């Protein structure tokens, strides 16, 4: 699986959009970008994933650059409950080895 | 609530002992994964079972073993425990075998080895 790079931390004000960047410059054509988050020692929670098109669900939007070397997770209206560690993970679609490889993630702090 | 259950929530034991952690996947999910989260190593994949068969191994020590039973629940056995085994242990489940299925994580078992 390709390696990802995320800044260690960021913060944003409650109610504002949180834009979390991720670099994955060595991503291969068959690799998806996944985002999970972990709220204070709880089990990680799936947020969203995508291949090359932008994706949106009820939690977030995922914007992937045209060259697929980076992506941004957008939480449109951050709340205090969104304070968590966010992990950007790249993994291949095919194959039976479907483990998740977590890096250090980015710690998002939402301030009142 | 992810639908994945893990027991016990907390476990405190002594070095040299053996413990068993239990995981019940979401209803219908055939894949179970085990992960370890320690302060120095972060979240690390240990092992993956699919429908009772081991599919992949990660950084799992020889002192650790796992199995998935016919009812699809899984157990992670940790033996000859050392202080460094203190960690959060998560299991996750997914519907099928392929990598594009999202994994649903349980609340974890916090193991403290004294």
Write out pLDDT tens, residues B13-46: 999 999 999 999 999 899 999 999 998 888 999 9
CA distance to partner chain B, nearest, from residue A17 (Å): 25
- How does the average pLDDT of chain A come out, rounded? 92
| Over residues A31-52, mean pLDDT | 94
Record: contact A94-B98, CB cut-off 8 A: yes
Q: Report the mean per-residue pLDDT for chain B.
A: 93
Q: How far apart are CA A50 and CA A56, in angstroms?
A: 9
Segment (H or E) for B77: strand B74-78
Q: Between residues 44 and 63 of chain A, which touch chain B (CB distance below 8 Å)?
A: 44-46, 49
Nearest to B48 among A46, A98, A103 (CB): A98
Classify the phi-psi angles of B51: left when phi > 0, otherwise alpha if psi is within -120 to 50, otherwise beta.
left
Note the pLDDT tens digit of each residue in A64-104: 999 999 999 999 999 999 999 999 999 876 655 678 889 99
Answer whether A43 sits within 8 Å of B50, measured CB to CB. Answer: no
Of residues A48 and B1, the one with the higher pLDDT is A48
B40 → chain A, closest CA residue: A104
Return the closest-CA partner of residue A37 out of A104, A100, A85, A102: A85
């Amino acid at each position: 699986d390709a390696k990802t790079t995320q800044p260690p931390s960021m913060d944003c004000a409650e109610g504002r959009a949180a834009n979390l960047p991720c670099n994955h410059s060595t991503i291969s054509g068959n690799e998806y970008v996944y985002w999970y988050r972990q709220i204070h020692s709880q089990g990680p929670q799936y947020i969203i994933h995508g291949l090359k098109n932008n994706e949106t669900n009820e939690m977030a939007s995922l914007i992937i650059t045209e060259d697929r070397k980076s992506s941004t997770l957008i939480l449109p209206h951050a709340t205090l409950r969104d304070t968590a560690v966010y992990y950007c993970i790249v993994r291949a679609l095919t194959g039976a080895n479907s483990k998740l490889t977590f890096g250090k993630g980015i710690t998002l702090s939402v301030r009142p | 609530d992810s639908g994945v259950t893990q027991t016990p929530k907390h476990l405190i034991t002594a070095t040299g002992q053996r413990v068993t952690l239990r995981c019940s996947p979401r209803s219908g999910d055939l894949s179970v994964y085990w992960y370890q989260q320690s302060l120095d190593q972060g979240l690390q994949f240990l092992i993956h079972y699919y429908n009772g068969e081991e599919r992949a191994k990660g950084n799992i020590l020889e002192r650790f073993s796992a199995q998935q039973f016919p009812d699809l629940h899984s157990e992670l056995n940790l033996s000859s425990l050392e202080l460094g085994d203190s960690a959060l242990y998560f299991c996750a489940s997914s519907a099928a075998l392929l990598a594009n299925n999202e994994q649903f994580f349980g609340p974890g078992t916090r193991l403290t080895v004294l």
